[in-house]
């Protein structure tokens, strides 16, 4: 593995990382690695969430509350996906469409991988 050194990290960011590390029962180094892997290695997850933001400007709803997004997911569900991406958390759901459309972040109860 390669080594990465980051200088001049704002104190607020360091405090947030420490809080996340404590919450996730990881060392600071493990947490930084997890955050980097999550945000760099999961472009397919963040893409639908970002695309939703763009499409939301031109939303077209049918009677079921579906948005004109490529996924066809309900706006309500897509907001939960976006929140999970922003918070860096898995989304636990029984919704088959969400599980199929967002497999990198959506999990069935009891199947969330441990970090």
Q: Are residues 59 and 100 in the same domain?
A: yes
CB proximity list for 17: less than 8 A, separation 6 or greater: 28, 31, 32, 35
Up-side HSE of residue 15: CA atoms within 13 Å toward CB? 3
Residue 63 lies in a domain: yes
Q: If DSSP codes are grouped into helix, strand and coil, which group holds residue 106? A: strand
pLDDT tens per residue, range 53-62? 444 433 444 4
By CB atoms closer than 10 A (0-12, 13-18, 19+), residue 91 is buried
Residue 4 lies in a domain: no
Range of the domain at 92: 43-115
Q: What is the pTM of this model?
A: 0.41
Q: Are residues 103 and 47 in the same domain?
A: yes
Q: Are residues 94 and 53 in the same domain?
A: yes
Reported as a pLDDT band with limits 50, 70 and 90, residue 107 is very high
pLDDT tens per residue, range 9-46? 888 888 888 888 888 888 988 888 888 877 665 444 44
């Amino acid at each position: 593995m390669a080594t990465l050194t980051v200088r001049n990290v704002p104190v607020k960011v360091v405090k947030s990382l420490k809080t996340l590390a404590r919450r996730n029962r990881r060392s600071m180094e493990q947490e930084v690695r997890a955050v980097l892997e999550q945000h760099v290695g999961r472009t397919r997850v963040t893409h639908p969430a970002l695309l939703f933001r763009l499409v939301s400007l031109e939303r077209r709803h049918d009677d079921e509350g579906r948005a004109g997004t490529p996924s066809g997911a309900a706006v309500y569900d897509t907001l939960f996906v976006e929140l999970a991406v922003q918070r860096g958390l898995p989304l636990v759901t029984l919704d088959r469409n969400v599980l199929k459309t967002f497999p990198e972040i959506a999990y069935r109860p009891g199947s969330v991988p441990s970090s």
